[in-house]
Amino acid sequence: EPEVTQTPSHQVTQMGQEVILRCVPISNHLYFYWYRQILGQKVEFLVSFYNNEISEKSEIFDDQFSVERPDGSNFTLKIRSTKLEDSAMYFCASSEGQLTSGMPDTQYFGPGTRLTVL
Amino acid sequence: AQKVTQAQTEISVVEKEDVTLDCVYETRDTTYYLFWYKQPPSGELVFLIRRNSFDEQNEISGRYSWNFQKSTSSFNFTITASQVVDSAVYFCALIRKGNQGGKLIFGQGTELSVKP
């Protein structure tokens, strides 16, 4: 069964450093997402991406964050200058985006990247 | 504004007990979609079910069942004859109609511990 994959599984970085989290969405999916989960808290939406553009973003997704689809398979989240509070599990998700009835498709999640900022 | 509340932070049961996880949501939309996801100790988020707001039929899948009641804005999840492998954090989530590419709004999650 197709699945979303993410690398690395765990990233440790120093405060102020740039990090890039990588995701390979399910191959026929058109919508891609990033969510984050601070330890012990709920999952929060960061951004969605469709047709090489940001579709929606949350207030968390400020200028320090950017997303890119550099090729036909990868989807990346870049944090330019990491802060301690960026430590969290980052989940990538994708959805088919084929339905035209107005029903949102199910979002399928990857296993997550645990980011630790020291 | 939309909101999902899972009031039960932690539940502990003994294997073979039935357990119900509560989910209450708030939305002004008349059409919306509700989801349950499971997060086992390994950390990934696993999709369990999706329901449309206009379909209030209960659903059963093996030991899992879901009770959707629009009148009380609840979408509760019952595990029958729980097993140790059911131990996980369970999240209820909401998304509005037409929100292709839009955000899932998650509840705080309920941590279920099933003891042998």
Chain B residues within 8 A of A112 when measuring between CB atoms: 43-45
The DSSP code sequence of A15-62 is: TT--EEEEEE--TT--EEEEEEE-TTS-EEEEEEEETTEEEEE-TT--
pLDDT digits (tens, 9 = 90+) for B39-81: 999 888 999 998 888 887 888 889 999 999 999 999 999 999 9
Positive or negative, the CA dihedral A90, A91, A92, A97 is negative
Please state, in angstroms and rounded to a whole number, the distance separating the CA atoms of residues A82 and A98.
35
Please report the number of interchain residue pairs, chain A to chain B, with beta-carbon separation below 8 angstroms: 77
Kindly determine whether residue A56 and residue B107, on different chains, have CB atoms separated by under 8 Å.
Answer: no
- Residue A82 corresponds to which tokens in the numbers above? 């990491």
Strand partners, B39: B89
Is the Cβ–Cβ distance between A96 and B47 less than 8 Å? no
Is the Cβ–Cβ distance between B102 and A48 less than 8 Å? yes
Q: What residue of A is the nearest CA neighbor of B93?
A: A43
pLDDT digits (tens, 9 = 90+) for A3-45: 999 999 999 999 999 999 999 999 989 899 999 999 888 899 9
